[in-house]
Amino acid sequence: MIKELDVIPSEVKDTSRRPEWLRVKLPTGRTFREVADIIRDHKLNTVCGEARCPNMGECWGNGTATFMILGDVCTRSCGFCAIKTGRPVQGLDWDEPNRVANAAKLMNLKHVVITSVNRDERKDGGAPIFAETLKRLREEIEGVTIEVLIPDFRGVWEALQIVIDAKPEVLNHNLETVPSLYRIVRPQAKYHRSLELLRRCKDQGLRTKTGIMVGLGETKEEVYQLMDDVVKAGVDVLTIGQYMQPTKMHLPVKEWVHPDVFAEYKRIGEAKGIDHVESGPLVRSSYHAERHL
């Protein structure tokens, strides 16, 4: 029987100061600067910068980044996310896939992670740009493997099918949090719609992945229930990381979850049947993504 958490001294409830396990090195170094130059020169966006990811020093210092396509304005207003919200003024940028492919080649990437903003003003949600980006990356980099971290396309399954048909090696779609918190964390999303998206991708043979943040006020029981739902949807990889408030305008951190609890989440998730659970305070859905192939 799986033993669920009952004895671990779990969370730090005083959230006014970050605990020492969340302190990270400041981004510096030659490789970091080279990555920054390539991104700027190709007029690209990364979720690393836009979402103020704490791992930029490590990832960019190792020469990797997660490209964010479809512009830098998101049509949604999630309570945790620092990306600009609004109605994008531009249509699709058909040169963006070329720039992503060229930048990835210059960065010498063998595994590329592509995500995007939501483009809910469009029926296709921008899915054709995902497909074109995969095509251009494969033309440019022999043997490249690609993970896409996609929006829910408002449940327009024809748009999702465009991405599925492009056959990414990993299809990632984040649940972000437990269903009871959707109203404040992801007000325009639906928990069961996201699960259905993951199930549809699995049914068509893709390797699937999802991620959540903890420390937003969820209970452990809710995390275990989510794991059960993830298993039922056939998801192969689950990432779990600590939520960090990007600005004072965003949802407050409710708990600093202890590293021992993250270790327990990994043990329990894998015991429940998830192939791989990456769980730790600094884990983000694209962190060490090459390990999730």
Nearer to ligand SF4, 130 or 287 (CB): 287
Phi, psi of 142 (to 5 degrees): -65, 135
The verdict on 114 binding ligand SF4 (CB under 6 A) reads no
Cβ at position 85, least distance to ligand SF4 in Å: 19
Cβ at position 58, least distance to ligand SF4 in Å: 7
How far is it, in rounded angstroms, from Cα 216 to Cα 257?
Answer: 10
Residues 250-289 that bind ligand SF4 (CB under 6 A): 284, 286-287
Cβ at position 291, least distance to ligand SF4 in Å: 12
Among 48, 92, 104, 181, binds ligand SF4 (CB under 6 A): 48
Which residues contact residue 30 at a Cβ distance below 8 angstroms, ignoring those fewer than 6 apart? none
Contact in structure between 70 and 109 (CB atoms under 8 Å): no
Nearer to ligand SF4, 55 or 177 (CB): 55
Q: What is the DSSP string of 241-289?
A: EE---SSTTSPPP--EE-HHHHHHHHHHHHHHT-SEEEE-TT--TTTTG
How far is it, in rounded angstroms, from Cα 84 to Cα 195?
Answer: 26
Among 38, 39, 55, 107, binds ligand SF4 (CB under 6 A): 55
Nearer to ligand SF4, 56 or 274 (CB): 56
Contact in structure between 146 and 111 (CB atoms under 8 Å): yes
Which residues contact residue 156 at a Cβ distance below 8 angstroms, ignoring those fewer than 6 apart? 123, 124, 125
Among 66, 118, 172, 208, binds ligand SF4 (CB under 6 A): 66
Cβ at position 43, least distance to ligand SF4 in Å: 18
Cβ at position 189, least distance to ligand SF4 in Å: 20
Interface segment toward ligand SF4; rule CB under 6 A; list 35-43, 55-63, 70-78, 258-266 = 55-63
The footprint of ligand SF4 on this chain (CB under 6 A) covers a number of residues equal to 12
From 98, 80, 49, 73, select the one nearest 177 (Cα to Cα): 80
Among 47, 107, 233, 261, binds ligand SF4 (CB under 6 A): 47
Give, as one character, the DSSP assignment of residue 9. Answer: -
How far is it, in rounded angstroms, from Cα 68 to Cα 58?
Answer: 18
Among 39, 44, 59, 78, binds ligand SF4 (CB under 6 A): 59
How far is it, in rounded angstroms, from Cα 32 to Cα 36?
Answer: 6
Report the chain's terminal Cα–Cα distance, integer Å. 29
DSSP E strand stretches across 48-152 = 66-69, 73-74, 84-85, 111-116, 145-149
Nearer to ligand SF4, 269 or 280 (CB): 280
The verdict on 65 binding ligand SF4 (CB under 6 A) reads yes
Nearer to ligand SF4, 46 or 75 (CB): 46
The verdict on 53 binding ligand SF4 (CB under 6 A) reads yes
Contact residues for ligand SF4, defined by CB under 6 A: 47-48, 53, 55-56, 59, 64-66, 284, 286-287
